[in-house]
Amino acid sequence: MEPAFVVVALLNLGFVLGLLLNLGGLLTWVERKQAAVMANRIGANRAYIPIPIPGKDGIRWYKRFTLIGLFHGIADAIKMLTKEDFTPPFVDRFVFNLAPWFAVIPVLVTFAVVPFGGPFIPGVMLEEVLLFVGADGLAATAHDFFGDTTFQLQLADLNVGLLFVFAMGGTGVFSAALAGWSSNNKYALMGALRSSSQMISYEVFMGMAILGLLVIYGTVDMGLIAQMQGDVWFGFIPTWGVFVQPHMFVIFLVAMMAENKRVPFDMPEAESELVAGYFTEYSAMKMGLFMMSEFIEIAVIAGIVTSLFFGAYHVPGVHAVTDVWYWTQHPELVPGNLVFGATVPHVVVVVMRVLSFLCKLAFFCWFLVLIRWTLPKFRYDQIMRLGWKILLPISILNLLLTAIVLAVVGS
């Protein structure tokens, strides 16, 4: 593999891991603060750094720098790392220790196929940047290193990207099942059974909800789906998935929330009934991994929803010279880096697109937390009835109607 591809892959890996791990910690603060705001409370504000303030008798440490509660995330991390990691003597030790990794690793890996910035040409973006000067005195620029090769702002550009999402998402059920079974605890086992039935059921509805979109776009490549959302209808309506299938966006979002096992779909944990559900017997960092995976999964859900239904990284009116699909659909136009018709440097378009993706991601993270603190918890029979008697028939009917419409009017 060429060094340029290795460098881009490492930069993509660093961006994805840095984004998810930091969002996982930040969302613990968002959860507390947003809940407090909605309940007219102050929220997390107890963790602080003392600031020395000079007084008449010297320096007195009484000024509390709380940073609106953000230090609570650091305090939680320290607490998780320093607590005793107790393993009950009655558990299956190997499976008990393995289960938390089944919770966090599939969530991190799933984000690998999410496009967060589209195709870009680093050799053009950083053309004048000097990388190093050799012993012979010759200077090497970024263009010399990267050339005119087009790379993807996507960790894994798979042509079966969406199938990869479903495959990784399907392994998440193993964490709850293994944790509940290995704990040798009735509450944990009940949580594992609830989790297995709920996650397996809503994976069916999630797949059915997205099939109509796949019939329209004709591919499971998430990078290509993102590129196909860069066009507009009638000169002003973006061809985003939410305008193509708005009703299926709602069903897909509901199914993803059920996969996340948070209120109103928190029956696998159900603190009022099952203590903590499938991870009742876990403590210290193992419990932290289960909880962290749920918060990281919020960011992953937001990224997938953004990529499929809200144009991924696209900003209406902003196009890059690397948008092969767009320029193929518009052969009358001259390819270029355009912002509302004005020609700009390639780096401007790339930065705008990454910021656009991050803004959409942040919005859906906020929206998912909003729903969590707005709706009451469903009963278990209500969750199953909602899925099998409402979401599934709507999804099947939508798929049939979409296929009929495309067969009649064309693609």
- Whether the pLDDT of residue 142 is over 80: the answer is no
Q: What residue numbers bound the domain in which 397 lies?
A: 94-120+155-409
- Whether the pLDDT of residue 39 is over 70: the answer is yes
2/117 Cα distance (integer angstroms): 22
- Over residues 167-217, the pLDDT tens digits come to 888 787 888 888 888 888 888 888 887 887 788 788 888 888 888 888 888
Pick the closest to residue 142 from 121, 128, 156, 159 (CA basis): 128
- Over residues 299-318, the pLDDT tens digits come to 999 999 999 999 999 998 89
Task: Look at residue 113 in the predicted model and tell me its pLDDT.
Answer: 92
- Whether the pLDDT of residue 293 is over 90: the answer is no
pLDDT above 90 as % of the chain: 18
Give the torsion sign (CA, 370, 393, 172, 356).
negative
Residue 333 lies in a domain: yes
pLDDT band at 58, cuts 50/70/90? low
Pick the closest to residue 206 from 259, 244, 266 (CA basis): 259
- Whether the pLDDT of residue 283 is over 80: the answer is no
- Over residues 153-166, the pLDDT tens digits come to 998 888 888 889 88
pLDDT band at 73, cuts 50/70/90? confident
Task: Look at residue 274 in the predicted model and tell me its pLDDT.
Answer: 66
Residue 238 lies in a domain: yes
Residue 317 lies in a domain: yes
- Over residues 237-276, the pLDDT tens digits come to 888 999 988 888 999 998 888 888 877 887 767 666 667 7
Helix (H) or strand (E) holding 238: strand 237-238
Residue 376 lies in a domain: yes
* Two tokens, residue 378: 């469903």
404/401 Cα distance (integer angstroms): 5
Average pLDDT, the chain: 84
Q: Can you give the pTM of this predicted structure?
A: 0.90
Average pLDDT over residues 118-146: 69
Residue 247 lies in a domain: yes
Task: Look at residue 62 in the predicted model and tell me its pLDDT.
Answer: 66
Residue 291 lies in a domain: yes
At 213, is the secondary structure helix, strand, or coil? helix
Average pLDDT over residues 52-64: 67
Task: Look at residue 16 in the predicted model and tell me its pLDDT.
Answer: 92
Give me the number of domains the chain comprises.
Answer: 1
Residue 65 lies in a domain: no
67/71 Cα distance (integer angstroms): 7
For the chain, how many residues are written? Answer: 411
φ and ψ of 133, to 5 deg: -120, 125
φ and ψ of 342, to 5 deg: -90, 135
Give the torsion sign (CA, 87, 89, 93, 99).
negative
Task: Look at residue 304 in the predicted model and tell me its pLDDT.
Answer: 93
Task: Look at residue 380 in the predicted model and tell me its pLDDT.
Answer: 81
How many C-beta atoms lie closer than 10 Å to residue 356's C-beta? Answer: 22
* Burial state string for 317-335 with b = 16 or more CB within 10 A and e = fewer than 16: ebbbbbbebbbeeeeeeeb
Residue 25 lies in a domain: no
Task: Look at residue 265 in the predicted model and tell me its pLDDT.
Answer: 81
